[in-house]
A = this chain, B = another copy of it.
Amino acid sequence: MYKVKVYITLRESVLDPQGAAVQQSLHTLTYNEVSDVRIGKYIELTIDKTERDLDQLVKEMCEKLLANTVIEDYRYEVEEVVAQ
Contacts and interface: CB of A to CB of B under 8 A. Distances in A.
A22 B34 contact: no
Interface residues of A, number: 35
Given A38-B44, A39-B43, A42-B42, 4 more contacts: A35-B47, A35-B48, A38-B43, A39-B41
Interface in A24-55: 25-26, 29, 31, 33-50, 52
Interface of A: 1, 7-9, 19, 22, 25-26, 29, 31, 33-50, 52, 57, 60-61, 64-66
Contacts of A49: 33
Contact of A34 (B29, B31, B47): B47
